[in-house]
A and B are shown apart, each in its own frame.
Chain A
């Protein structure tokens, strides 16, 4: 055991940093620092820049365009990318559908979709949840009935993030309503979002943004060759995918970046007659978050390196622990930035509105964004399997209670 980074790993970190420094558009970095989520265009631009360097499909095998990194290198890369801050690789493409196709897909499916997913030529979305099937995903009702060499899909999905941006959707459907166990009647389909019969309706979330959607399927024809894995074995695919999704949610580089941002703001913010950064209570709060972050980093490194050695395709049950801690930390660090802004963070002024020169100036842009990020991150303990569900998994899979 040696927990120090090797000289090679340190050099790798420098290489990643230099690449980001030289290639990430300044405006993108500045917008993200101010707390804006990346736009679709920013995400596409950056993922293509990374892909051109061979750094987009980070967890995929080399033959499908992966960089052949060790788990530690992957973590270093993700951390540096988030800390920059740069737009994240699209999780639906890189951590979800890519590994699924590599594990379960046909040669055709891999050839057709993997290079396009890596380069973000296709934007994927995740059609799992339904109004009646959230935590209890296996109760999903969206039905696919076989007609010749097609499935006819009818039903409704909800909470489909970025479906309005998406070209393709990976979809869980019920193909055998009569199966003895609910999990045994589910299949995994790839659906072109332009197929007739698909309607996407926006859901506005509590931060005022449009991220979520309802997606309706009305006699949507999906070719049978767009099924991944065997018919009625879609649950295996879903479980594999959800295990990968969990670890991705931790995003600890994001938490680190927010802590550093809050520290820099606190040096400029006066409170009680001195910089907020000199307030012992504030410093303790930051110190505690840094301790939690370090703990999470160690846990993640352990799980990720063990995962590569296990090679049985099953996610480590401890990935649930990472999901819980990671989401809590993302929430706590967004709270920190919001609290630094104080009353200024409570404003919802539209920055886009023209500022006539004789109108009073509005406050700092980052503060107006801070509450939005805090609000949206309340969802981090809900999506990807709620934190209650993660604890149920730990109780059963690890503790055997």
Chain B
């Protein structure tokens, strides 16, 4: 057992941390949110230069051969800065689907363009009726000539508005809730029949409702084997959870540091509020939760490439629960200990709070994963 980072990993964490500290001021971020794309194209290019966009792909395909630990380090730095770019959507979600299911031709065509920042992906899987159930998919793909025709509606597709290419899940056979019979397709975001409506989530990051009406794709759009996509989808979601756990830890870390600072500087009753023991203990509890979450995020990262599917699923669900609960406590207390100022849009705490909130409600909330774990515990 070894929790130490390699020199390269430490270097990566440092350089991403520095880039974020230099470029991501609170005011700059708020200005970016107000723009249509909702993120910085300039920074996206910097990520490409730093090698972040090709990070998890094999070197033979034009990537940098990084793993889940590298992704964890990047995501934690993004969480601390509240980065808005479609990194999770493109590199983690889309990227995992591509890595696990892509044909050599698809990898060869797409990975270099992703790594250069020329191709952004989104994972168009969730549907409104499904809530958090991964196999509740009603979007249909019907064979037509050599290709397929896609019909259906996807909801809260992260960065679905700006993605060049959508990774769409659709049913090629089977009924509602069947894990068998799902397939993944690469669909051009501008293809005929694709209607997208972008909007901001509560934390300012972008998402879209996507409707597919008679979208025609060729046989080469199929990602992986027809009808056998469920294990891939599950692993994409697991990779997403692990990345988001790290991001949430970064955000919690920032909130805890800001709160600690505030306890030392805010004066009431003639002394810093941090001299009240009740607030000292609260801050200590925040630290306990944060450290618990940090360990859980590491666990999730370590489990992303675990070959035993049941073991992987169980541990990642545990991490999602632990990080979700810690996130709720740490962010709620961060506002509480700031008093009125914590409730304002002008102050950063509320922005971290909302990112952690959105993460908790992505890819299954605490109750969802606890239920999955409870089913295994009996």
Residues on A lying within 8 angstroms of B by beta carbon are 129, 132, 134-136, 139, 158-159, 203-206, 208, 212, 269-273, 276, 279, 281-282, 285, 338-339, 342-350, 358-363, 371, 374-376, 378-379, 381-383, 386-388, 391
Contacts and interface: CB of A to CB of B under 8 A. Distances in A.
Contacts of A350: 199
A136 B345 contact: no
Contact of B343 (A285, A361, A378): A378
B354 A375 contact: yes
B199 A347 contact: yes
Contacts of B368: 271-272
B131 A271 contact: yes
Interface in B183-217: 195-197, 199-203, 207-211
Contacts of A363: 128, 155, 209
Find the residue from B132, B354, B361 having the highest chain A CB count within 10 A: B361
B118 interface: no
A343 B279 contact: no
Contact of A203 (B267, B344, B361): B344
Given A135-B339, A279-B371, A204 B346 contact: yes
B340 interface: yes
Contacts of A276: 131
A136 B268 contact: yes
Contacts of A281: 367, 370-371, 374
A205 B343 CA distance: 6
B335 interface: yes
A382 B368 CA distance: 30
Contact of B199 (A270, A361, A362, A382): A362
Contacts, number: 149
A114 to B, nearest CB: 30
Interface string B363-378: 0010110110010000
Given A204-B345, A344-B155, A339 B357 contact: no
B358 A358 contact: no
Interface in B83-131: 126, 128-129, 131
A272 B133 contact: yes
Given A339-B367, A345-B361, A382-B336, A269 B195 contact: no
Given A205-B343, A206-B345, A343-B126, 15 more contacts: A134-B340, A135-B339, A205-B350, A270-B136, A273-B133, A273-B177, A281-B367, A343-B361, A360-B211, A375-B353, A378-B353, A379-B343, A381-B336, A382-B336, A391-B278
Contact of B350 (A135, A206, A272, A374): A206
Contact of B200 (A139, A204, A348): A348
Interface in B246-296: 267-270, 273, 276, 278-279
A346 B358 CA distance: 6
Nearest to B362: A343
Contacts of A362: 197, 199, 209
A390 to B, nearest CB: 12
A206 B268 contact: no
Given A134-B268, A159-B340, A281-B367, A271 B209 contact: no
Interface in B151-207: 153, 155-156, 177, 195-197, 199-203, 207
B111 to A, nearest CB: 29
Given A348-B200, A375-B354, A382-B340, A360 B153 contact: yes
Contacts of A388: 276, 278-279
7 contacts: A134-B339, A134-B340, A269-B131, A342-B131, A343-B126, A347-B207, A348-B199
